[in-house]
A and B are shown apart, each in its own frame.
Chain A
Amino acid sequence: MKHFRKILVANRGEIAVRIMRTCRTMGIETVAVYSDFDRDALHVRMADQAVLIGPAPARDSYLNIEKIVSAARLTGADAIHPGYGFLSENAGFASACEEAGIVFIGPRAEVIRALGSKNEARKLAQEAGVPIVPTPAEHEFPKLIKASAGGGGRGMRIVRSAAEFQESFAAAQGEAERAFGDGTLLVERYIEGARHVEVQIFGDHHGNVMHLFERDCSLQRRHQKIIEESPSPAVTPEIRRRMTDAAVSLAQKIGYTNAGTVEFLLAPSGDFYFIEVNTRIQVEHPVTEMVTGLDLVRLQIEVAQGATLPAAQPEQMGHAIEARLYAEDPANEFLPSTGVLHVWQLPEASTALRVDTGVEEGIEIGVYYDPLLAKIIAHAGDRESAIRKLTHALRSLAAQGVQTNREFLIALLENEEFLAGRAHTGFQLPASVPVDEALDRVFCAVARIYIERSEQSRRSILPSIPPRFRNNPTAAPAMKFAIGSRDHAINPSNSVLEVLTSSNDHVDALVFHSQGRGVRYRFHICQHGTDYYVRSSLGQRHIQRLPRFPERTAAGQHQSANSPMPGQVLRILVAEGQSVEPGDALVVLEAMKMEQTIKATIQGVVRAVLVKAAEVVAPGQMLVEIESVEDANEHANSSAKH
């Protein structure tokens, strides 16, 4: 059996960090690869060596096989761990490693290739006697249409009647063609109330295959898993036995090596159907680690080194549950949120509470990669306790500077259906957290006090006298703030808040929720320019201080077309000097795989086009500047006069 001396981790973010952590405990050196964007990333600093592999877009860096293999050669790495995503399920990458004499930590290239095609995988499953989702009769509804080459829900449609079939089919085909360049569709029976349950499998190079029980990943948003747990609340010992047997026999049939996941749909009847095999470590692997006590990355490395799997089947101990914290905006269709992570406070470590993250306070969350900030995993003796622990951890976690799904996750974990273990893949997720106007005003009032006090203590003249002293009391003008799109004018006297103490990073105050005595809270405050990130156990808010004095309008009236979301410029449809009417298309952006056309809202002349095709733009970035017609005329007149 060989021992790796150095492993290159062909990934970024939390999974790269997590893999390196295991390498450290095994005494194996690590090599990080990174893009320009990640030059200060945690995974780069954590590695013993690091190699820059290209610009920010993944196709030029983390998806560039040649550069990664050459980085491994350069540093003398004897194995590559691909993590998940990027090249982890790319058979070509596995082959390239093999050809370069570097061990690819994962299944063999041909296994990856075979399981990568949905049709072929279904065939293999059938051959191994694993049930697949039946093809429905012509008049049997509901049906599920999905792209053969697909993933992530794109090209997927549920059809409930014959009337809508044709239209849905055409739409799905178009979408699949655009997304994958392959319009091949599968039509399956749609199983109502099904859960997503998957079995972790492991195979070694000596013909042994074992399973590490199931994970339930039924809570999904747009086919993206957000909460995962093990064991599944819907899996009985009998189902577990049948399901794990099916997964193991499939793995044995295809000679599977290393870590893999066999995904099933579990119908309310207890019947289950094969979906696909993921030939890599999964995002949600920590829940399996928590219930089995194993380190799956260590097991992956050992198997790749040629070790034999342990003979004894591990026990399933207690209950583990994971939540994925994303930089995304629940109030804005969960679009990825970019910006600087100004506040990043992880929950206090306690027994069996794990946080896997690759981000740090002050880093930029860009548009280039998956916006996963952290996975928080809790383990306890029973499901209810594990959920409670996870909820508490999420509450005590602070992430500000970008929008996150934190509140949304908390709402999910507190949902009755979910708590009862009844949430299936079709579960209607709770609508985004309602706005609590009164509480927003409490937060703004805290910001106001903070501003007054910190300005006072910063100044050189009389910092020690009472703030805003008046010998003839006069009410101070309201301060204007915004939380999201809502403006709040906050007056100095506030009957719901009484400040006890304050410093440069917090305000302690009594909050009077209702009549009677106040409750004391500590509000932590982080200021960046006119942005205030305020948090307490009442929640967290990003508060913008609106200017005291309105911006002075420029001599001419201009309108600018701004990017509504992070994305990339696909096409520019106007040129400088061109006249535009309201509604004229100016720029086409691609954001979230959707095309978004930015239109003019006034009549005028394009003064400047401020972006180039293929440029990545941030939300709010100015794209095109338009001078209104009246001003343009005025300008011409005054020019004529001189």
Chain B
Amino acid sequence: MFLRLIYLSPVKPLRSVVDRQSSLYQANYAAMQSAVERLRAELKRSTEGGGEKYVKRHVERGKLLPRDRVEMLLDEGSFFLEIAPLAGFGLESESPGAGVVGGVGLVCGRECLITANEATVKGGATGEAGLWKNARLADIARENHLPSILLVESAGADLPQQSKIFVAGGRGFREITRRSKERIPTISVVFGSSTAGGAYLPGMSDYVVMVKKQAQVFLAGPPLVKMATGEVSDEESLGGAEMHSRISGLSDYLAEDELDAIRIAREIVSHFNLRKPDLPQMSAVTEPAYDPDELLGIASADVRVPFEIRDVISRIVDGSEFAEFKPEYGPTLVTGFARIHGFPVGILGNNGVLMSESSGKGAQFIQLCNQQDIPLLFLQNITGFMVGRSYEEDGIIRNGAKLINAVSNSMVPAITIMVGGSYGAGNYAMCGRAYAPRFLFTWPNHRIAVMGEKQLSGVMDIIKREAAAKTGQPIDEARMAMGRKMLEDQIAKESDCYFATARLWDDGIIDPRDTRTVVAIALSAAYNAPVKGTMEWGVFRH
């Protein structure tokens, strides 16, 4: 008889009791709640397309709205982790969501990257933010080996913005075929216009589905053809679905209607022979022992006020179990192992400013996770590295460089969540955008900049005064004060999480209570690609 080895987890759950009655908790909670409410309102607006009139016109043509196309494509009950829903937010001449809906969801039980043009705004034309967003979505597909399904209905480039997008826009087509080479397939489902450069979307795809009497794919439309060669043609014969399916061969599948096209896309995916090559031993999932709702009262509304990162960890990891590494050493960086929805993860979370010791500890921990092929989760709430003479003497740069070296060369997937501030080189050391985490999401309290607006304007004030002193110019205090205030306001505005998310500095702002789910989806997606840590690093400066 076999004895089944059943052992109790040796990991002790974190003890993390928060005082819900405290004024700090309540103030944080109220602030975060209103921030989440604003987020919901902004997100809702992002789903409304070009507004009632254009939505109505689209629907009256018997067409599905882009989000409905996505919903029909997804498995019923599947998640959909939308990427950068507020891309382009507040930018001049930008459409909601930058004119494209994109995200990760399940199609026939397989994680896919789905994009859909927002056809009710400018005919689905792409502007600068749309370019950023498409590039980001392409990165996600490539890095995580996710098949892409493009639900195409786009007028192409937003022509007035052409100077911002024409040259860089070529990359998207290159990416499709480079993914193809890496065995990451792309399906284009053409619902409407996909012309000129846009014609290369289906052109480069592995599979093309076109909707009868809707799809129009040509390099040049009838007016341009007439201008160029004098030939008179109509859109249907020039680039209709039937022509491409029966004659040109650009279309592989002729769909009767939109739903049929979506069904065909699902049929194609169902035959993909996809595997997760390095899926780890999964553990049974237990929910955290502490209520994730308390995250709203834990995270500081004012990012200058520090908070205990273990209180966050205990509300996002399975069973609140966290096996902390080096708890007594370098305490401003908390490191340890946990599981999220069964996936193993190595967590690095800030509990204060980065010091020499905590940097070294972080580098060591990243090496350990690479040794064991364990993905990393960075919980960023960082004002930067410690400054001052004794710290410089102690080698804060040298030690900080170790951490940046480790973060830069780490090969396991990393996910970053901005749970508070992100300032200075701390952003880099904790796997900010430039350090290519697979996914990066922020909380609504998040602020990001090279430094705080007060420090920054203060620094500029000092520099200006020094410069004035050198040249012996008198100081106009009123002007100085005004300049300082203006700069402070500008930096404050630019540090805002909406400013950041609009520019694709992150993959979206999330409700803190969704963190556990979002990280789980990100981890699951990441496992579509090989998960192999490295033991090769840059030279560590000891």
Contact = CB atoms under 8 A, between A and B. Distances in A.
Contacts of B514: 469, 471
Given A470-B79, A471-B508, A472-B43, A477 B71 contact: yes
Contacts of A467: 77
B106 interface: yes
A552 B72 contact: no
Interface string A448-477: 000111011001111011111111111011
A452 B77 contact: yes
A550 B261 CA distance: 11
A501 interface: no
B114 interface: no
Interface string B272-286: 000000000000010
Contacts of B260: 549-550, 552
A41 B63 CA distance: 53
A627 B260 CA distance: 23
A479 B76 contact: yes
B77 A474 contact: no
A641 interface: no
B98 to A, nearest CB: 13
Contacts of B67: 474
A241 B378 CA distance: 94
A222 interface: no
Contact of A468 (B68, B79, B109, B256): B79
A351 interface: no
Nearest to A475: B71
Given A464-B341, A465-B517, A549-B262, A472 B85 contact: yes
Contacts of B270: none
B76 A461 contact: no
A454 to B, nearest CB: 9
A477 B77 contact: no
Given A468-B77, A552-B263, A477 B285 contact: no
Given A464-B285, A464-B342, A453 B524 contact: no
A639 interface: no
Given A474-B47, A474-B67, A474-B71, A462 B79 contact: yes
A514 interface: no
A461 B525 CA distance: 9
A474 B82 CA distance: 11
B386 interface: no
B434 to A, nearest CB: 23
B79 A459 contact: no
B263 A469 contact: no
A469 B76 contact: no
Contacts of B68: 477
Contacts of A471: 80-82, 85, 508, 510-511, 514, 518
B409 to A, nearest CB: 30
A469 B72 contact: no
A455 B79 contact: no
Contacts of B524: 461-462
Nearest to B106: A461
Contacts of A479: 76
A553 interface: yes
Nearest to A455: B77
A548 interface: yes
A402 B40 CA distance: 48
Nearest to B97: A472
Given A471-B508, A476-B76, A462 B520 contact: yes
Q: State which size class the interface on B falls in.
A: 35 or more
Nearest to A457: B77
A175 to B, nearest CB: 51
B71 A476 contact: yes
Nearest to B279: A460
A455 B510 contact: no
B324 interface: no
A411 B522 CA distance: 56
B517 A470 contact: no
B324 to A, nearest CB: 24
A383 to B, nearest CB: 51
Nearest to A469: B79
A525 to B, nearest CB: 15
Given A474-B80, A553-B256, A469 B106 contact: no
B93 interface: no
Nearest to A454: B77
Contacts of B44: 473
Interface string B490-521: 00000000000000000010110010011011
A459 B81 CA distance: 17
B162 interface: no
- Which of A452, A470, A477, A552 lies at the interface centre, i.e. has the most chain B CB atoms within 10 A of its CB? A470
A362 to B, nearest CB: 28
Nearest to B523: A462
Interface string A541-568: 0000000111011000000000000000
A471 B43 CA distance: 9
Interface in B73-121: 75-82, 85, 106, 109, 111
A477 B521 CA distance: 22
Given A455-B76, A477-B72, A549 B517 contact: no
A47 B174 CA distance: 75
B46 interface: yes
Contacts of A465: 79, 341, 517, 520-521
- Which of A459, A461, A467, A471 lies at the interface centre, i.e. has the most chain B CB atoms within 10 A of its CB? A471
B258 to A, nearest CB: 10
B77 to A, nearest CB: 4
B14 to A, nearest CB: 20
Given A461-B106, A471-B80, A553-B256, 4 more contacts: A465-B79, A469-B521, A471-B82, A477-B68
23 contacts: A451-B76, A455-B75, A456-B77, A459-B109, A460-B109, A461-B106, A461-B111, A464-B285, A464-B520, A465-B521, A468-B78, A469-B80, A470-B82, A471-B81, A471-B85, A471-B508, A471-B511, A548-B72, A548-B263, A549-B262, A550-B259, A550-B260, A553-B256
Interface of B: 40, 43-44, 46-47, 67-68, 70-72, 75-82, 85, 106, 109, 111, 256, 259-260, 262-263, 266, 285, 341-342, 508, 510-511, 514, 517-518, 520-521, 524
Among all A-B residue pairs, the 9 with the closest Cβ atoms: A549-B263, A469-B79, A452-B77, A464-B285, A472-B82, A472-B85, A456-B77, A455-B77, A472-B43
